[in-house]
Every structure is written in C-alpha cells, then in structure tokens.
C-alpha cells in the first residue's frame, strides 16, 4: 500500500507539473516574443539612433510630414505582424494589437537609448523630445517585428507559417505579399540613408549618364539577388516562362516601388523642398539604389 501511495503521489505530482507547464507555455512564448521584439528594435534601429541627422530631423521636421510617416508605417506594421510578427496570430484584430505593441516597443526603445545618449533630456521642449522619439520609433517598430524572423524561432517555422505554406498551391499564390515585403524592405533601408547629407551630395556629383548607369545597376543587382545568385529564400525563375516575365513582374515592379518609396521618404524629410525636376530625379535614383537592395533582401530574409 505504501509503495502504491508513493507511486500515486508521484504520478499525481507529475500530472500537476505537466498541467502547470502547459499553463506556463503560452506566457513563456509571449515573453520570448517580446524579448525578441526589443532585440530586433535595438539591432535594426541602432544605426539611426546614432545618426545626428535624424536627431536634427526629429526636432525640425514638419509635424504633418512626421504624422504622415507614422500613418504610412502603421498599416505596414499590421501587414508585417500578419506575416512574421513576434508571436503567432490568427486574425486581424491580433495583428493590429501586435502592430500597436511593436510601435510601443519602438517608442520605449527610442526613449531609453536617446536618453542614455543624452540626445533627449531635461531642458528640451516637449515638442522636440516627442519628435525625436517618434521619428526613431518608426524604424525601431519595424525592427521589433523583424525580430522573430531574424533572431530565430524555436522549433523551426511557426504553426501559422506552416499553415500558410501548406495552403500554397501556385508560385504566384502571394504576389501581393511579395510586393508588400519588398515595400517594407525598401522603406526600412531608405530610412537609414535618406536623412544623410550624402544623398543630395552624390546626386550633385553625378551626371545624367551616371544616373542611368546607377538605375541599370540597381535593376541588375536587384534581379541577381533574387533570381540568379540562388541565395536562401530566393525565387528561381519558372521553367515554363521566360526570364523576362519574372524580371517584369518582380524586379521591375519592385524597383518602381523603391522609386515611389524613395520619393515619399525624401519628401517626408524635406530633401526635395525647393529642388528643380532634374535634381529631384537624380536624388531619387540615388536613394532608390539602397531601397532596391532593401526590397530584394526583404524577399530573402522575411
């Protein structure tokens, strides 16, 4: 009887432990997801957090343009949360919630780092502090959602990713999703370099011939990244269609997205104010080079 009681006690304890473990699993997953979000926010936004031009833009940038940047960023965060958020979600309400959490993490990350760097602090106006934090929170919030993709995921792909993969039936099943990822990559990388003085400086040094060559190089490198080099995650051309079809549908359309996003970012940062058409075109082509690389890379890593 004593032995049976001990076994029974041990079995009961084991079942309780398993029950407790099952209850703790969702909480642990959330904590890990939030931790990755903070890590992603810090890693991906640190170059911008340490860029003087962005400090000044946070203070001087027209508040309407800053608001437009936020308005454009929030839907991108929702879509990014839908695809690779820092925890599994199954409906749009959860995606909106995760996007808001990611932006809050971006705000907190920017606040802490800028405070430690003494970029913000006592004696500054409320408008200046908020402007610097919000501007830096935009790339930080994108980085928060990229944390899951870049910093790993226990056990391989998530259940949502497995379900989406299992539901795919054709190579063109998610053309809109491909374009969305390219837009996110283009926006993120263009935010890194658009505020710097080197963008208009390079545009001034270049001739129209250089601009055409840079445009061609952007398309070549962009197409090579995704199709020719064979990086992990690259989408190889289909056998039943000529390469020009994939070039037009993905590379060319992706580059046009990079151009449009470059124009928007340059306008947001006031880089096109008072500029004639030719300097505007030249500066846009210059910024579209890193934006195109960001668009191509996003398809490989997200």
* Number of C-beta neighbours around residue 210 at 10 A: 15
pLDDT at 208: 94
Q: CA 135, 47, 184, 94 torsion: positive or negative?
A: negative
Buried b (16+ CB within 10 A) or exposed e, 141-175: bbbbbbbbbeeebeeeebebbeebeeeeeeeeeee
pLDDT at 297: 86
Answer yes or no: are the C-beta atoms of 142 and 73 closer than 8 Å: yes
Higher pLDDT: 50 or 159? It is 50
pLDDT at 83: 80
Q: What is the mean pLDDT of residues 273-301?
A: 90
| CA–CA distance, 45 with 49 (Å, rounded to integer) | 6
* Number of C-beta neighbours around residue 64 at 10 A: 8
- The tens digit of pLDDT for each residue in 135-177 reads 999 999 999 988 766 665 544 444 444 444 444 434 444 788 8
pLDDT at 150: 64
- The pLDDT-based confidence of 237 (bands split at 50, 70, 90) is low
Q: What share of the chain is helix, strand, coil (3-state, %, to 5)?
A: 80, 0, 20
Only one residue has tokens 């430690």, namely 116
Higher pLDDT: 200 or 237? It is 200
Three-state SS across 121-152? Answer: CCCCCHHHHHHHHHHHHHHHHHHHHHHHHHHC
Examine the pLDDT at 21 and tell me if it is beyond 80.
no
| CA–CA distance, 82 with 93 (Å, rounded to integer) | 10
- The tens digit of pLDDT for each residue in 59-94 reads 999 999 999 999 999 999 999 888 876 555 567 888
- The tens digit of pLDDT for each residue in 250-272 reads 889 999 999 999 999 999 999 99
pTM here is 0.79
pLDDT at 246: 77
């Amino acid at each position: 009887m004593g032995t049976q009681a001990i076994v029974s006690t041990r079995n009961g304890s084991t079942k309780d432990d398993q029950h407790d473990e099952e209850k703790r699993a969702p909480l642990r997953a959330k904590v890990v997801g939030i931790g990755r979000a903070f890590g992603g926010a810090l890693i991906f936004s640190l170059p911008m957090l340490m860029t003087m031009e962005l400090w000044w833009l946070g203070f001087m940038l027209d508040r309407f343009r800053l608001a437009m940047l936020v308005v454009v960023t929030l839907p991108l965060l929702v879509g990014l949360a839908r695809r690779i958020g820092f925890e599994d979600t199954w409906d749009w309400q959860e995606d909106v919630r995760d996007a808001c959490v990611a932006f809050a993490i971006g705000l907190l990350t920017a606040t802490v780092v800028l405070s430690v760097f003494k970029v913000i602090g006592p004696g500054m106006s409320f408008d200046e502090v908020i402007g610097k934090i919000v501007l830096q929170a935009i790339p930080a919030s994108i980085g928060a959602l990229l944390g899951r993709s870049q910093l790993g995921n226990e056990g391989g792909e998530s259940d949502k990713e497995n379900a989406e993969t299992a539901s795919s039936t054709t190579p063109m099943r998610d053309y809109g999703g491909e374009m969305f990822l390219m837009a996110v990559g283009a926006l993120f990388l263009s935010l890194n370099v658009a505020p710097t003085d080197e963008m208009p400086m390079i545009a001034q040094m270049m001739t129209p011939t250089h601009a055409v060559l840079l445009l061609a190089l952007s398309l070549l490198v962009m197409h090579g990244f995704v199709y020719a080099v064979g990086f992990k995650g690259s989408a190889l051309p289909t056998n039943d269609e000529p390469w020009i079809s994939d070039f037009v549908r993905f590379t060319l359309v992706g580059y046009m997205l990079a151009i449009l996003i470059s124009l928007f970012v340059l306008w947001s940062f006031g880089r096109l104010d008072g500029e004639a058409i030719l300097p505007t075109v030249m500066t846009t082509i210059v910024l579209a080079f890193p934006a195109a690389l960001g668009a191509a890379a996003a398809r490989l890593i997200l």
